[in-house]
Structure 1
Amino acid sequence: MYRKIIHIDMDAFYASVEQRDFPQYRGKPLIVGGMPEGRGGVVATASYEARKFGVRSAMPSKTAQRLCPEAIFVFPRFDAYKAVSRHIREIFHYYTDLIEPLSLDEAYLDVTNDKQGIGSAIEIAKQIRAAIKDELQLTASAGVSINKFVAKIASDQNKPDGLTFIGPSKIESFMEELPVAKFYGVGKVTAAKMQGMGLHTGADLKKLSEEEMVRHFGKAGRFYYHIIRGVDNRPVQPHRETKSISVEDTYQQDLTTRAEMLPELETLSSRLAERLQRSGLKGRTITVKFKFHDFTIITRSLSMPELIHTEADLKMAAITILNNAPVDSKKVRLLGIGISNFELPVHKKEDSQLSLF
């Protein structure tokens, strides 16, 4: 028996909440995130009016301002977004308790055996989207399929305010036509590597054996081999524990000195601090990831004596790691920073999901 999986993804979530709550922002290019005059500011979310100019999440705020000079910048209101997320989760629970939140604005739902006895995942997705619109005046896009991977890709096909169903008989043909850059989990560097090998679509990937996929792409190659054939047996995990949070960037020009890497790590630290603020988590272990021009990767970690979460503490740890990392005479094409070894405050342990969704 096939699973019935829904992936719900809110449309331009933070920006949509701001436009809902403040009529003066409606219909205008709105950017939620760091101010362009501040060092290291990045876009958290952009409204669809701003996206028409090429503004995207995680883009430096100064770049966003250059692309869209008329954009309105506002600071995020995470308490408001968390309150909306809790309401959305209540809507989900009317249909199923098998809910796996990925962030404040998206989640997987397993409705194979739905609580209302509706039986149709498509109908449930329609009802959820209608409830979100009626109760919260916001829109959500949904993907419906038999597994998580395909459902997530489907939810992105008709954004905003769309619903896409990819049934069992259509999965392989759909995946064969999909550009490799659209595969969830394939980043810019991996997509570029695939395209450099003449692999532009899922059909191209399908020509490689599992051994060839692993040889070219490491452990991820085995995952790609299966999902291109529509095979993804991962269950929806309603109590998934967050073990780490990280951010990373790939650079168009390689970084060759610590002086060039330092401001980039500071920017990444700012973004990581924002994610930690949203999640309500604090951690002890900071890890910096270096990917070099030849695609080799090293990581270096630092464990702190106290729990940290502030931007200042993250930057200090990142700088310490950078100063001791073996990166001399190296060309760095990607930097990442992450935090792990979490410990929730005592008063949140019994309801930890509220801090994540």
Structure 2
Amino acid sequence: MPVAKPESSDARVIAHIDMDCFYVQVEQRKQPELRGLPTAVVQYNSWKGGGLIAVSYEARKFGVKRSMRGDEAKYVCPEIQLVQVPVAHGKADLKIYRNAGSEVVSILARKGRCERASIDEVYLDLTDAAETMLAENPPESLEDINDEALKSHIVGLAEDGSDVKEKVKNWLCRTDASHRDKLLACGALIVAELRAQVFMETEFTCSAGIAHNKILAKLTSGMNKPAQQTVVPSVSVKELLAPLPIKKMKQLGGKLGDSLKSNLGVSTIGDLLQFSTEKLQECYGINTGTWLWNIARGISGEKVEGRILPKSHGSGKSFPGPHALRTIGLVEHWLNELCQELSERLVADFEQNKRIAHTLTLNARAYMLRDTNSQKKFPSKSSPLRYGIAKIQEDALNLFHAGIHDYMGSYASKGEKNQNNGWGITALSVSASKIFTIPRGTGTIMNFFPTQSLACCASPQLSGDASMHEVVQLTAAEIESGSKEFTTAKESIGGIPGMYPRDQKRKIQEDKGIGSIMGFFEVPVQSCPSLNQEPHEETSRSSGHGSESCWQKNQAESQNRLLYGEQPQCLSVGPTMNPQEGKRKKLQGTSSILRFLKSSKYSTHDRIEIFQEPCVPSSSGEMRARGSGGSERGEWSYKANEIDPTVIDELPPHIQQEVWSWLKQSHSSKPSSSTITRYFFPPK
């Protein structure tokens, strides 16, 4: 529904850039021999030569239209060159066109706030650039005007005669013009320069509309194609809009436009001028009625969003007529293809732009085979987005089942879940939306854990940017719930020393090496000669001066096992430390996450030794006291074959490898009677 937004009191300069038959230009750049020849880009579907999706201006002169198919185009223009669009996942692959559009956007964004509307359309807010130019180098002071600017079309300016360029130059350089028109003149000069720059760097031509708002700029960018631009002064808005059919105006080409024509007899925008605000609000509500009144006068306050990257990613395919999908198997096949393409784009977006999507949405068009009034719309279904091809495919299929159940209504209960009860699918699409950028400087989740000093060895440091493997394993719901915390992390936890990753990073690098998550767990030590000895001050002192203690040896051995793939000798978890142990705990090393797993195949003697503090003297009585009461918790263990493999798949890859290695070793050993409940700490 259109939203009425008040127009700013300050004059704005908005440009809409529209590439000229863009897909053809991209193909002509790849194959320069096609330049100047009638050319068309066709779909991958070869039926009747494929449907045309882009037609060059040379081909249009022969009467070739986009609504034609390849065979028909060849009949109209035998010389036409047909180029098939690239294919991937059984559908058109628009990646090369998308990337080419990004080249253009990067050039246009140099001069102002840029909003990418589609692959080949861009909005520009040039207000600041125009104001600067007017203050420092106004058009009337220029000795030479860009030839591209002189080819501009000024709405309301007569173009008859041979001195059109001179008329345009006089309009651009008027000294008695209003401030608003002077800004438009500056905008015209800036856009002409940008269009020339785009052609020089990319070999692509484009057309443009320059006006005081987005609606007028969009309306005029296609009026004079190719490779030209049109300017709309304020005094010429009524002249431009009055004869315009309502279907040509943005947001009036559908049901709202039909309603205006049938209920009010409105055929052109000029016809709307006879209706008051009250009448339009009475018929269409306050919001839509106000918007209609404004649009008839060329008034719009819609802003240009500073967005170069797309707001969503999508992949879809149509199955018209006899190609309609009528089995769950076919639907699943095409959903898998679409989801694979979507996943590839999501991963590329993350790697290039550090962005994560939150929501997965499925849309479809369907019909009932035996329903004479099959106009019921297939419901759109959404769910939190989980990264990974298999997960996206699974969720998309579940969404389809939910949608077809709602679409079928009472018919759905008459058959099995995978049985077709008389429906057909003519279009499928999956999309990812609610995309947020990971704030710059955000590190891995490890940076939010308390740091520990390493006495004898340092782990490789992680990058300051979050890696794909760590970030994408968060569910969409988790990401969404924490998105606001990401953006306000500095403010919300700024008062807690060392908690914000960027502030903490330098300290971590100075104090210790940042390794994997395994670095935050204890070292499993099977035995230690000094286990039952009293602590000596000399021992701890010598540790800081390079002498190799028992603990250091075990620590080094543990690190070597991790680095070189050796299997850990034991898997167990001991009681947590009490506050009095905190000081000496800092001296301990770090090792594998398997430290928190307990294998039942080892003897009681081994277990007791493992649970002692590594190389820190402690009596067995003291250990029993800690394990049985006070502030400490006891030990639990579990059966290895009771681990859900899907849980392991959620771990980072390097930890997955270690856990799988242990499970393989555990399966080869004799089964024990321990249960999974022994793995968890009991309640206090």
TM-score by length of 1: 0.70
The answer on whether the counterparts of 1:283 and 1:309 sit within 8 Å (CA) in structure 2 is no
Deviation at 1:133, TM superposition (A): 2.2
Q: Pick which of 311-320 and 10-19 moved more.
A: 311-320
1:339 aligns with 2:431: yes
The answer on whether the counterparts of 2:381 and 2:403 sit within 8 Å (CA) in structure 1 is no
User: Which residue of 2 is the match for residue 302 of structure 1?
Assistant: 382
Segments of structure 1 that go 5 or more residues without pairing to the other structure are 57-62, 351-357
User: Does the C-alpha gap of structure 1 residues 290 and 308 become closer, same or farther in structure 2, counting only changes over 3 Å?
Assistant: farther
1:153 aligns with 2:219: yes
The answer on whether the counterparts of 2:216 and 2:232 sit within 8 Å (CA) in structure 1 is yes
Q: Pick which of 209-218 and 84-93 moved more.
A: 209-218
3-state SS of paired residue (1:157): coil
Alignment partners' CA distance in 2, 1:267 and 1:46: 29
Q: Which has the higher strand share?
A: 1
User: Which residue of 2 is the match for residue 68 of structure 1?
Assistant: 73
Aligned residue pair count: 333
1:288 aligns with 2:363: yes
3-state SS of paired residue (1:102): strand
Alignment partners' CA distance in 1, 2:290 and 2:377: 19
The answer on whether the counterparts of 1:5 and 1:109 sit within 8 Å (CA) in structure 2 is yes
Which of the numbers 127, 131, 155 marks the counterpart of 1:112? 127
User: Which residue of 1 is the match for residue 97 of structure 2?
Assistant: 81
Q: Deviations over 1:141-193 (max 9, x none)?
A: 00000011111111011122221111111113322221111112333454444
CA radius of gyration, larger in: 2
Alignment partners' CA distance in 1, 2:282 and 2:344: 39
User: Which residue of 2 is the match for residue 53 of structure 1?
Assistant: 64
Report the AA paired with residue 233 of structure 1: G
Aligned pairs for 1:237-252 (under 5 A) are 237-239=305-307, 242-244=310-312
The answer on whether the counterparts of 1:65 and 1:71 sit within 8 Å (CA) in structure 2 is no
Per chain length, whose mean CA-contact separation is higher, i.e. which structure has more relative contact order (CA < 8 Å, sep 6+)?
1
Q: Pick which of 112-121 and 307-316 moved more.
A: 307-316
Q: Deviations over 1:93-144 (max 9, x none)?
A: 4422x11121232211111121894340011111112222233222100000
Which of the numbers 191, 194, 204 marks the counterpart of 2:271? 204
Segments of structure 2 that go 5 or more residues without pairing to the other structure are 1-9, 75-79, 87-92, 135-185, 350-356, 368-372, 412-425, 443-464, 466-684
Which of the numbers 82, 92, 112 marks the counterpart of 2:108? 92
3-state SS of paired residue (1:130): helix
User: Which residue of 1 is the match for residue 177 of structure 2?
Assistant: none
User: Which residue of 2 is the match for residue 15 of structure 1?
Assistant: 24
User: Which residue of 1 is the match for residue 242 of structure 2?
Assistant: 176
1:101 aligns with 2:116: yes
Alignment partners' CA distance in 2, 1:196 and 1:307: 48
Alignment partners' CA distance in 2, 1:83 and 1:140: 16
User: Which residue of 1 is the match for residue 205 of structure 2?
Assistant: 139
Alignment partners' CA distance in 2, 1:205 and 1:277: 47
3-state SS of paired residue (2:127): coil
3-state SS of paired residue (1:114): helix
Report the AA paired with residue 106 of structure 1: E
1:127 aligns with 2:189: no
Alignment partners' CA distance in 1, 2:379 and 2:127: 40
Q: Deviations over 1:181-224 (max 9, x none)?
A: 11123334544444444321101233344465467667655433
Alignment partners' CA distance in 2, 1:166 and 1:34: 40
Q: Deviations over 1:55-91 (max 9, x none)?
A: 15xxxxxx63354245613224755435533432343
User: Does the C-alpha gap of structure 1 residues 75 and 144 become closer, same or farther in structure 2, counting only changes over 3 Å?
Assistant: same
Deviation at 1:246, TM superposition (A): 6.8
RMSD, aligned CA: 5.0
Alignment partners' CA distance in 2, 1:326 and 1:302: 15
Alignment partners' CA distance in 2, 1:313 and 1:43: 34
Aligned pairs for 1:174-323 (under 5 A) are 174-197=240-263, 198-210=265-277, 213=280, 220=288, 222-239=290-307, 242-244=310-312, 284-288=359-363, 299-303=379-383, 306-307=386-387, 316=397, 319-323=400-404
3-state SS of paired residue (1:158): coil
Alignment partners' CA distance in 1, 2:366 and 2:290: 21
Which of the numbers 44, 59, 67 marks the counterpart of 1:34? 44
3-state SS of paired residue (1:199): coil
Alignment partners' CA distance in 2, 1:168 and 1:185: 22
Deviation at 1:232, TM superposition (A): 1.0
Q: Pick which of 19-28 and 340-349 moved more.
A: 340-349
Deviation at 1:317, TM superposition (A): 6.2
Q: Deviations over 1:253-290 (max 9, x none)?
A: 9xxx996xxx99x9999999989977856664214377
User: Does the C-alpha gap of structure 1 residues 113 and 343 become closer, same or farther in structure 2, counting only changes over 3 Å?
Assistant: closer
Q: Deviations over 1:5-24 (max 9, x none)?
A: 11111111122111122034
3-state SS of paired residue (1:113): helix
User: Does the C-alpha gap of structure 1 residues 247 and 47 become closer, same or farther in structure 2, counting only changes over 3 Å?
Assistant: farther
User: Which residue of 2 is the match for residue 354 of structure 1?
Assistant: none
3-state SS of paired residue (1:160): coil
The answer on whether the counterparts of 1:269 and 1:337 sit within 8 Å (CA) in structure 2 is no
Alignment partners' CA distance in 2, 1:124 and 1:195: 40
3-state SS of paired residue (2:380): strand
Alignment partners' CA distance in 1, 2:190 and 2:281: 38
The answer on whether the counterparts of 1:3 and 1:112 sit within 8 Å (CA) in structure 2 is yes
Task: State the identity as a percent.
Answer: 22
